[in-house]
């Protein structure tokens, strides 16, 4: 069975993407800055299924600081965070 010309050309010159996806988009930092500046209440779900609610006050490469009313503030390592979302029912000023 003979391979047609198109298949031979593909075999010789495999299609490669000319543009590569960026390693980092910096969208995480942009979103966290937005949460800090607008003081948007967030809820953080940790990898052990605990949930913490407060506002993001500071972030770094490795952790975020959550400020809470009436409870101690927390430094949460990013590798311990399953996900973070804006708290339901928050009112943006």
Tokens describing residue 58 = 């500071």
Is residue 27 classed exposed, middle or buried when 0-12, 13-18 and 19+ CB atoms within 10 A define those classes?
exposed
Residue 18, in any domain of the structure: no
User: What is the per-residue pLDDT for 88?
Assistant: 85
Tens digits of residue pLDDT in 10-39: 667 666 667 887 888 889 999 999 999 999
Q: Which residues contact 89 (CB under 8 A, 6 or more apart)?
A: none
Tens digits of residue pLDDT in 50-73: 999 999 999 999 999 999 999 999
User: What is the per-residue pLDDT for 21?
Assistant: 79
Instruction: Tell me the C-alpha distance between 20 and 2, whole Å.
Output: 34
Range of the domain at 74: 25-86
Residue 91, in any domain of the structure: no
Domain count, the chain: 1
pTM to 2 decimals? Answer: 0.70
Residue 11, in any domain of the structure: no
Instruction: Tell me the C-alpha distance between 89 and 78, whole Å.
Output: 25
């Amino acid at each position: 069975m003979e391979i047609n010309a198109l298949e031979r050309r593909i075999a010789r010159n495999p299609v490669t993407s000319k543009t590569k996806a960026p390693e980092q988009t910096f969208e995480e930092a942009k979103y966290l800055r937005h949460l800090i500046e607008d003081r948007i209440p967030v809820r953080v779900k940790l990898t052990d299924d605990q949930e913490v609610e407060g506002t993001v006050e500071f972030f770094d490469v490795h952790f975020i600081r959550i400020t809470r009313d009436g409870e101690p503030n927390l430094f949460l390592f990013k590798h311990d965070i399953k996900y973070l979302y804006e708290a339901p029912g928050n009112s943006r000023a």
